[in-house]
Amino acid sequence: MRHTAFLERFGVSGRGLVVALPYLWLLLFFVVPFVIVLKISFADVDLAIPPYTSLLQWEGANELSIRLNFNNYAFLFTNELYIKALLNSLLVAFVSTLFCIVIGYPMAYGIARARPKTRNILLLLVILPFWTSLLLRVYAWIGLLKANGVINNALMSLGLIHEPLAMLYTPFAMYVGIVYSYLPFFILPLYANLEKMDWQLLEAAEDLGCRPWQAFYKITLPLSRNGILAGSMLVFIPAVGEFVIPALLGGPNALMIGRILWDEFFSNRAWPVASAVAILLLLLLVPFMMWYQSIQARESAGAR
Amino acid sequence: MATPAGAAVKAAPWRDPNAKPYVQIERVTKAFGDFKAVDDISLKIYQGEIFCLLGASGCGKTTLLRMLGGFETPTSGRILIDGEDMTGVPPYERPVNMMFQSYALFPHMNVEQNVAFGLKQDRVPKAEINERVASMLELVKLGDFAKRKPHQLSGGQRQRVALARSLVKRPKLLLLDEPLGALDKKLREHTQFELISIQDKLGVTFVVVTHDQEEAMTLASRIGVMNQGEIVQAGTPSEIYEFPSTKFVADFIGSVNIFEGKLIEDEPEYVRIGSPELGGTIYVSHGISAAPEATVWAAVRPEKVFMTTAPPEGTDNVARGAVQDIAYLGDLSIYLVRLPTGKIVRVTQPNTSRHAEAITWDQQVYLSWDSTSPVVVTR
């Protein structure tokens, strides 16, 4: 009691404190870094530490001038590489999401319709990969896909092929890696949605003349729409900026915006351009994130 | 007063040996592992009937209904609908519709779309769909709610949407699983009579599953009382009530006083039963078929017991006791009378007068009944 009284003297209530904490967290670890990145994106490259110019400069004694450099953004739009990388990233994320839907939907459906005991085991299997680091799992894929890797060796010893298939460092390997890594993010929200389904609706549909697949198409699919969208956003949004998987599995030709960002930042030490890329990527993804938020809100409101 | 239950059945076809049954259930058994949910049931249901499957939860009534709908396959035996063997016929090809206990309305469709669903599935022309949906919604008095989503409706309205959706395809047979279970008492009574009048208007055969004996009595042309996967007795509501064939049926339908005893006189015209539980003899004015010296039970309905302060004539069908408890229900009162043997007898008396000389607690009373009142059952 005495503590709250002490705080209340400064106009802080316990309730306000609880609400303030997450905001403080967001301010410190999201807004501040974002503002820094935004600032850098308007700066110029400089041979200094840190390697960019300051936006604020004293001109004489009493005059503070702000210098905003839009060249970084102009550079992004005039240089084909960035536009291409951005479009390619969107395409890769989109295709990966499609694969996640095709592979993940039957899995989520199967889990939701399994008996409660089996269901927990299946869910555990979906979550199990998270117990190992992503990097290790992607490296494991290198071992599977490389020229003398597990898959090629197995196929050759079976006599199905005579030359190893070139799988590693191809778009194929990159898609395998992305779909594999992001599949649980698709399955879990969809499962949560399907698990709430009233399966008697399917019996009602069959009773009214639907074959089982028609009942699925007319009842299950529309009712799980929000689950599909939520899962898709959870795959699509991070996949656009994905760096590790294309870098390790996709080979040198995988043109992804995440890799460009990495190269600009670490290889070219072009922090302002890298920041501009980051801001652009964020702006591009904001509509998708807002969409995801509205789906989540609808889902928790219970209205379909 | 509404039309008598099952008015569409005028001539009691189940009494006519030449009548062709619409639904034939032939020695159907459904086992889940070792448990027999439905145990060797045979039943004939006729066109235009409202047949109620009545029983406590877990007696197998819903399983039987689901087998009629095609959602469960009989382990053995077969079901014929309109003379056709339904074995292996999936739900979507049966001339049957079902109204689910949960109503199972499609939450992403409005009332109109829900009702039109089955017709669209059958590729009925659009104009005809619109017309049939509109008239069906009119019938269940939901014309103004066509554009509402199910979650915007009350329980009673949802029930009517479910009914409209299952009737709009004009099935010859409608299966109803606890159709009124989710409604409150007033609405339930009202809807019972609505159901009967709709059934009468459309001439559909209804098979209704319920655990509520009052609902069964009001709705049914015939009732099949189920217990542990078997049909214990099938008959009209009054047959079931007045002539129960077993102790279970007598006890399950309404309330009843059951006196255990032994036959002491067994003549073709009458029997006399000595009942230690009653502390006297029961005289029944018709013969029964039972082994001599067999244990039998005489069931007497509470409303058929007379309660007097003066001793009645004769020595049969008489007992003396003290009023232990009284429940005043308005239209009638229930008295619990304790006999010297410890047996509690339930008596109901209509409150015909507003200022009756009331019998009160602990008062000594005589109980008696007509010799035609007891029903004697042997199991």
Query: Greater confidence, B194 or A97?
Result: A97
b/e map of A267-282 (b: 16 or more CB within 10 Å)?
Answer: eeebbbbbbbbbbbbe
- 3-class secondary structure, B58: coil
Domain contains A261: yes
Residue B163 confidence (pLDDT): 92
Domain contains A206: yes
Residue B1 confidence (pLDDT): 37
Residue B10 confidence (pLDDT): 55
- 3-class secondary structure, B17: coil
Both structure tokens of A192: 């949560």
Domain contains A54: no
Contact A304 B107 (CB under 8 A): yes
Domain contains A248: yes
Residue B357 confidence (pLDDT): 66
Residue B288 confidence (pLDDT): 79
Contact B102 A198 (CB under 8 A): yes
The answer to whether A257 touches A281, Cβ cutoff 8 Å, is: yes
Residue B193 confidence (pLDDT): 86
Counted domains in chain A? 1
What residues are paired with B325 via a beta bridge? B336
B150 touching A (Cβ < 8 Å): no
pLDDT along chain B (379 residues), means of 10: 46 83 94 93 93 93 95 95 92 94 94 96 95 92 93 91 93 91 80 86 91 89 94 93 91 90 87 89 84 85 91 89 91 92 92 76 91 89
Residues of A in contact with B165 (CB under 8 A): 208
Q: Is pTM, for the whole model, over 0.90? A: no
Residues of B in contact with A198 (CB under 8 A): 102, 104
Mean pLDDT of chain A: 89
Residues of B in contact with A203 (CB under 8 A): 71, 91, 98, 100, 104
> Which candidate in B73, B108, B148, B178 is best for mutational testing of the A interface (most A CBs within 10 A)?
B108
Domain contains A168: yes
Does residue A220 carry a pLDDT above 60? yes
Residue B3 confidence (pLDDT): 45
The answer to whether B19 touches B13, Cβ cutoff 8 Å, is: yes
| Ordered structural domains, chain B, with CATH | 13-95+171-247 (3.40.50.300), 255-377 (2.40.50.140)
Both structure tokens of A104: 């993940």
Q: Where are the extended beta strands (E) located within B244-357?
A: 257-266, 271-275, 280-284, 295-300, 306-308, 318-328, 332-338, 344-350
Contact B98 A204 (CB under 8 A): yes
Both structure tokens of B53: 């499957």
pLDDT grade for A302, boundaries at 50, 70 and 90: low
Q: How far is A232 from chain B (nearest CA, A)?
A: 21
Residues of B in contact with A204 (CB under 8 A): 98, 100, 104-106
Cα atoms found within 13 Å of the Cα of residue A119, Cβ hemisphere only:
14
Nearest to B230 by CA among B44, B55, B21, B13: B55
Residue A53 confidence (pLDDT): 84
The answer to whether B288 touches B267, Cβ cutoff 8 Å, is: no
- Domain holding A267: CATH number? 1.10.3720.10
The answer to whether A249 touches A145, Cβ cutoff 8 Å, is: yes
Does residue A75 carry a pLDDT above 80? yes
Contact B121 A214 (CB under 8 A): yes
Q: Which residue has the tokens 């739009």?
A: A77
**Interface predicted TM-score (ipTM) over 0.85:** no
Domain contains A142: yes
Q: Which residue of B has its CA nearest to A212?
A: B92
Residues of chain A whose beta carbon is less than 8 angstroms from a beta carbon of chain B are 198, 200-201, 203-211, 214, 218-219, 222-223, 303-304
Residues 6+ positions from B161 with CB-CB distance below 8 Å:
B103, B105, B111, B114, B115, B140, B142, B145, B150, B153
Task: Name the least confident of A144-148, A270-274, A296-300, B27-31.
Answer: A296-300
Sheet holding B306-308, edge to edge: B306-308, B364-368, B318-328, B332-338, B344-350
Q: Residue A222 is nearest to which of B90, B108, B118, comparing CB atoms?
A: B108
Residue B11 confidence (pLDDT): 66
Q: Which residue of A has its CA nearest to B68?
A: A207
Residue A48 confidence (pLDDT): 80
Residue A13 confidence (pLDDT): 77
User: Rounded to the nearest 10 degrees, how much is the dihedral formed by the CA atoms of A157, A161, A164, A165?
Assistant: -130
| A131-149 average pLDDT score | 92
Domain contains A37: no
pLDDT tens by residue, B302-358: 999 999 888 888 888 999 999 999 998 988 899 999 999 999 999 998 888 776 667
Domain contains A3: no
Domain extent for A247:
72-301
Residues 6+ positions from A231 with CB-CB distance below 8 Å:
A100, A101, A104, A108, A185, A186, A187, A188, A189, A190
Does residue A238 carry a pLDDT above 50? yes
Residue B297 confidence (pLDDT): 92
Q: Which residue of A has its CA nearest to B169?
A: A208
Residues 6+ positions from A22 with CB-CB distance below 8 Å:
none
Contact A207 B98 (CB under 8 A): yes
